[in-house]
Structure 1
Amino acid sequence: MSLITTHVLDSSTGSPARGIAVSLTDATGEQLGAGVTDADGRVSQLGPEALDPGTYRLRFITGEYFASRNQETFFPEVLIAFEVSDAAHYHVPLLLSPFAYSTYRGS
């Protein structure tokens, strides 16, 4: 199982956001993994099973998601930087709407 997972919920519709491309990069910008959210808005295999401590980034391509719904958005992409400090599982959800987003460390 991937050390990093994510889940995207479209808070404007109250449903999972299917079809969003997501990539995981390290602090140098090297891509470590990529995936697309499934019907439940999840990417469960997003990179390696282990990561060194450090800063990593998840990039969500949200503009294409909203364009496919003929909906204007202020955020064509969302970039979330976070710290990995140990070998624990890191779940990084994204709550998304056309003009706002929030995130947190999930379980």
Structure 2
Amino acid sequence: MAGISTHVLDVSLGKPIAGMQIELFDMGTQPPKLIHRARTNSDGRTDTPMLPAAQARTGDFELRFWVADYFRTPDVFADIVPVRFTVADAAQHYHVPLLCSPWSFGTYRGS
């Protein structure tokens, strides 16, 4: 299975984040081109892949997670969290989760 997917977890509560806006951009174009926009479901995932397997390709991409809009607290640390990454092998699946709280965030390449 190829393509790009993601999910978001609230580490301060230990649960998935529902309703967060996420955007995927192709960074190989100037200006960067919006490929897909979605909101997370009750499981913290998007209902469809950010980039389906049929559209998989190599290149540089950026996921933008709208963290501040979700947490809506006056002391939220990050606004929009960008995660840039490279798809080196279009035949592989790239799962890029975000672990976040109102004060921190982190990511990794998942499975």
TM-score with structure 1 length normalisation? 0.89
Structure 2 residue 99 is the aligned partner of structure 1 residue 98:
no
Task: Tell whether the 8 Å contact from 1:73 to 1:98 is kept in structure 2 after alignment.
Answer: yes
SS of the equivalent of 2:110 reads coil
Q: What per-residue deviation string (whole Å, max 9, x for no partner) do you get for residues 13-64 of structure 1?
A: 1110111000110112101111101000001421342333111000011111
Show structure 1 runs of 5+ residues with no match.
none
TM-score with structure 2 length normalisation? 0.86
Q: Hey, what does 1:40 align to over in structure 2?
A: 43
Q: What aligned pairs does 1:1-107 form with structure 2 within 5 A after superposition?
A: 3-27=3-27, 28=29, 29-43=32-46, 44-49=48-53, 50-67=55-72, 70=73, 72-86=75-89, 87-107=91-111
Percent identity over paired residues: 43
| CA root-mean-square deviation | 1.6
| TM superposition outliers: structure 1 runs of 4+ over 6 Å | none
